[in-house]
Amino acid sequence: MTLPITETIIAAIAQLVDDSKSNGEYREPSHSDIGFYVERTQLTEADPKANGQSVGKAKRVRAILSWAIDNNSLAGSKLIELLMSKVRASGGFRQQSVNFVGNEAIDNAIAAFSTEGFELARDGEIRPRVLENLRGKDLTDALRAYSRRAQKGAHDAALLSGTGKDLLEATAAHVIQVKYGAYPMGANFQGLLGQAYMALGLTVPEQPPQPGEPPIKALERSLFQSACAINKLRNKEGTGHGRPWLPSLSLTEATAAIELVGTISGFLLARLDEDY
């Protein structure tokens, strides 16, 4: 599981590691702990402490993670995971603990992760949202969060937690569900996507170009063909058990595929929003 890294989440993490503002007491993680995790994730070059600056923990973590967004998002995600684990293990989410981070900081973190499709429990455990339990706007928002992550190349966004669907399939099914109240569970991917396209008034490749038609129609057909091509690259036997792509794909090819998944899913969800 790769945790998301956004400006909102960075602000929330900075609050979780900051010292108590009410009584000025220090709490874990210490600067030494942060330095250890920064070295493990190979983000030392972004660390203000390593560059001779005297900064507090919140400012230090914010600077490192802000650098990571643009330069090494995977390392930044790993650092978030390590810091969250340290806060949890130190009692940061237990109200009776001297290291308790405070209800406001926890509430802010819960809200920040929720917008990216993750559930942070009050005990500090974090997991992707199980989409099968969501309906309507909640599901639209969760799919949109996965779409944004996929567009950034997050490979774990290719398959949706708690479902057997990939992001494109789940998005197409959701569009049909919203438009018609139900979707054909036995339909193959191309048929499902085709129905979603028709529900949104989009043009499928089987519809030949018409004289004077808007140029966007060509893009709609191309996105449909790209979605079908990506579906053929899925490792169907591996669904839910690890690598979602055929083992013959290189990292570069798999990254391009997942970014396209995010783009196409985001396009369908945006068109769905336009209809309501």
Residue 42 is predicted with a pLDDT of 96
Domains contained in the chain, number: 2
Tell me whether residue 18 is in a domain: yes
Q: Do 173 and 236 share a domain, yes or no?
A: yes
Residue 186 is predicted with a pLDDT of 78
Tell me whether residue 215 is in a domain: yes
Which one is predicted more confidently, 164 or 192?
192
Query: Residue 22 above 80 pLDDT?
Result: no
Residue ending a domain, among 94, 110, 128, is: 128
- CA distances 164 to 197, 232, 268, Å, are 21, 16, 20
Query: Residue 214 above 50 pLDDT?
Result: yes
Residue 88's nearest CA partner among 26, 17, 181 is 17
Residue 99's nearest CA partner among 84, 111, 88, 85 is 88
Q: What's the average model confidence in pLDDT over 31-60?
A: 93
Q: Please report where in the chains the tokens 């997942």 appear, as a residue.
A: 258
Query: Residue 132 above 70 pLDDT?
Result: no
Residue 115: pLDDT band by 50, 70, 90 thresholds? Answer: confident
The lowest-confidence range among 46-55, 61-70, 98-107, 160-169 is: 160-169
Q: Do 75 and 121 share a domain, yes or no?
A: yes
Q: Do 89 and 210 share a domain, yes or no?
A: no
- Residue 257 burial (CB < 10 Å; 0-12/13-18/19+)? buried
> What angle (nearest 5°) sits at the alpha carbon of residue 160, between those of residues 155 and 161?
110
CB 67 within 8 A of CB 43: yes
- Residue 78 burial (CB < 10 Å; 0-12/13-18/19+)? buried
Q: Do 167 and 198 share a domain, yes or no?
A: yes
Q: What's the average model confidence in pLDDT over 107-127?
A: 88
Which one is predicted more confidently, 268 or 165?
268
Q: What is the DSSP string of 210-263?
A: -TT--THHHHHHHHHHHHHHHHHTB-GGGTTSS--B-TTS-HHHHHHHHHHHHH
Q: Do 68 and 165 share a domain, yes or no?
A: no
> Across 38-42, 69-73, 163-167, 177-181, which has the greatest mean pLDDT?
38-42
Residue ending a domain, among 96, 113, 128, is: 128
Q: What's the average model confidence in pLDDT over 40-44?
A: 96
Residue 241: pLDDT band by 50, 70, 90 thresholds? Answer: very low
Residue 233 is predicted with a pLDDT of 84
What is the residue-averaged pLDDT of the chain?
86
Helices 7-17 and 73-89: crossing angle in degrees, nearest 10, is 30
- Residue 169 burial (CB < 10 Å; 0-12/13-18/19+)? buried
Show the domain range for 253: 132-274
CB 63 within 8 A of CB 46: yes
The lowest-confidence range among 8-17, 23-32, 84-93, 97-106 is: 23-32
User: From the CB of residue 103, how many other CB atoms can be counted at a distance below 10 Å?
Assistant: 10
Q: Do 261 and 168 share a domain, yes or no?
A: yes
CB 10 within 8 A of CB 87: no
> Across 130-139, 197-206, 238-247, which has the greatest mean pLDDT?
197-206
Residue 108 is predicted with a pLDDT of 95
Residue 158 is predicted with a pLDDT of 53
- CA distances 200 to 167, 187, 193, Å, are 18, 18, 11
Residue 176 is predicted with a pLDDT of 94
Residue 151 is predicted with a pLDDT of 80
Cα dihedral angle (154, 158, 160, 163), rounded to 10 degrees?
A: -160
Tell me the percentage of the chain whose pLDDT exceeds 70: 87
